[in-house]
């Protein structure tokens, strides 16, 4: 009731850009962007899920890397899937072996169907708890529908700022 009274139930409407075939992805977290080969899980390191990069986060906030729609929010809130205006599917997987935490230490700020813009807060997580209960906080950002991709240009090996620093440029076929 209070939410309705004060207009807090209305999410800010995100203006989606026109599809132009190219998506610029910014980092979803503060930290260091690294090659997928540095992820301590062969599913990601060997690109079984798709190509991309990973971020070693320095804080427990994950934000949208691109304009898009939330197409999947895992019940455990350790991963989120987005679809860009150009049809590119992006998976952000927070940490390694974090599914076993059953959502403990994770808080989502979005739901499926929400439209997001670069920098919008998606998920917060407790880095200390992830470090204690999971294998790693390293966060892969994967393009899961590689068959729709013409090219991917990646930035690796540098410090990044969430919502600001470009980490990938993806051109759709």
Instruction: Report the alpha-carbon distance of residue 120 to residue 49 in Å, rounded.
Output: 25
How confident is the model at residue 74, as a pLDDT?
96
- The residue among 1 and 105 whose pLDDT is bigger is 105
Whether the pLDDT of residue 6 is over 80: the answer is no
Q: At 10, list the tokens.
A: 């209305």
Whether the pLDDT of residue 10 is over 50: the answer is no
Going from N- to C-terminal start, the domains of the chain cover 31-172
* Confidence band for 2, pLDDT divided at 50, 70 and 90: very low
In the predicted model, what is the mean pLDDT of residues 55-61?
98
The highest-level CATH class for domain 31-172 is mainly beta
Whether the pLDDT of residue 8 is over 60: the answer is no
Q: Residue 151, CB half-sphere, CA atoms under 13 Å: how many? A: 3
Catalytic residue among 93, 101, 118, 120: 93
Which residue(s) pair with 80 in the sheet?
A: 73, 92
93 is catalytic: yes
Instruction: Give 123-167 pLDDT, tens digit per residue.
Output: 999 999 999 999 999 999 999 999 999 999 999 999 999 999 999
Instruction: Give 14-47 pLDDT, tens digit per residue.
Output: 676 776 889 999 999 999 999 999 999 999 999 9
The pTM assigned to this predicted structure is: 0.90
CA-to-CA dists, residue 103 to 21, 75, 77, 82, 100, angstroms:
35, 7, 6, 19, 8
């Amino acid at each position: 009731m209070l939410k309705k009274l004060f207009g807090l139930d209305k999410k800010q409407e995100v203006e989606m850009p026109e599809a132009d075939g190219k998506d610029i992805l910014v980092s979803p977290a503060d930290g260091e962007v690294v090659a997928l080969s540095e992820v301590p899980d062969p599913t990601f390191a060997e690109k079984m899920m798709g190509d991309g990069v990973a971020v070693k986060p320095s804080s427990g906030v994950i934000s949208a890397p691109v304009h898009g729609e939330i197409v999947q929010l895992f019940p455990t809130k350790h991963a989120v899937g987005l679809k860009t205006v150009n049809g590119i599917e992006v998976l952000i997987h927070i940490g390694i072996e974090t599914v076993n935490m059953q959502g403990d230490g994770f808080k989502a700020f979005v739901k499926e169907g929400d439209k997001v813009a670069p920098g919008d807060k998606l998920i917060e997580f407790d880095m200390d708890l992830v470090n204690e209960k999971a294998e790693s906080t390293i966060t892969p950002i994967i393009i899961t529908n590689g068959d729709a991709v013409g090219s991917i240009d990646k930035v690796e090996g540098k410090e990044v700022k969430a919502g600001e620093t470009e980490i990938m440029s993806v051109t759709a076929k």
